[in-house]
Amino acid sequence: LIQMFIPLNFLGVMYREIKQSLTDIERLFKLLNVNREVADQADAQPLLVKGAEVQFDDVKFGYDSNRGILQGVSFTITAGHNIAVVGTSGAGKSTLSRLLYRFYDVNDGVIYIDGQDIRQVTQTSLRAAIGIVPQDTVLFNDSIYYNVAYGRPTASREEIVEAARAAHILHFIESLPNGWETTVGERGLKLSGGEKQRVAIARTILKNPRILILDEATSALDTQTEKIIQAELKEIAKNRTTLTIAHRLSTIVDADQILVMEQGRIVERGDHRELLAANGVYAKLWALQQEEAKSST
Ligand code: ATP
Per-residue confidence (pLDDT) for residue 263, from 0 to 100: 94
Whose Cα sits closest to atom 20 in ligand 1?
Answer: 90
CA 292, 21, 89, 98 torsion-angle sign: positive
Per-residue confidence (pLDDT) for residue 250, from 0 to 100: 82
Whose Cα sits closest to atom 15 in ligand 1?
Answer: 90
Q: Give the global pTM.
A: 0.84
Whose Cα sits closest to atom 22 in ligand 1?
Answer: 63
Choose the residue to mutate in 15, 94, 96, 99 for probing ligand 1, maximizing ligand atoms within 8 Å of C-beta: 94
* Helix extents (H) in the chain: 2-5, 11-18, 22-32, 93-100, 123-129, 144-149, 157-166, 170-175, 193-207, 223-237, 272-278, 281-295
Q: Which ligand 1 atom is the nearest neighbour of the CA of 12?
A: 27
- pLDDT 10s digits, 9-59: 444 444 444 444 555 555 555 544 444 568 899 999 999 999 999 999 999
Per-residue confidence (pLDDT) for residue 88, from 0 to 100: 87
Rounded (to 5) percent helix, strand, coil in the chain? 40, 20, 35
Whose Cα sits closest to atom 4 in ligand 1?
Answer: 89
281 Cβ contact list (under 8 Å, min separation 6): 260, 262, 267, 268
161 Cβ contact list (under 8 Å, min separation 6): 170
16 CB within 6 A, ligand 1: yes
Structure letter (DSSP) for residue 45: B
Query: What's the rounded Cα separation, in Å, for the pair 192 and 163?
Result: 19
- What is the tally of helices (H) and strands (E) in the chain? 12, 12
113 Cβ contact list (under 8 Å, min separation 6): 47, 49, 52, 53, 54, 55, 121, 126, 129, 211
Cα of 104 vs centre of ligand 1, distance in Å, is 13
**Total Cβ atoms within 10 A of residue 64:** 10
Whose Cα sits closest to atom 23 in ligand 1?
Answer: 95
Cα of 65 vs centre of ligand 1, distance in Å, is 15
Whose Cα sits closest to atom 10 in ligand 1?
Answer: 94
Length of the chain: 297
Query: What's the rounded Cα separation, in Å, for the pair 104 and 29?
Result: 13
92 CB within 6 A, ligand 1: yes
ipTM for the whole predicted complex goes beyond 0.85: yes
**Residues of the chain falling short of pLDDT 50:** 1-20, 31-35
- pLDDT 10s digits, 115-140: 999 999 999 999 999 998 887 788 89
Cα of 153 vs centre of ligand 1, distance in Å, is 31
Per-residue confidence (pLDDT) for residue 243, from 0 to 100: 96
Confirm if 119 and 160 have CB atoms less than 8 A apart: no
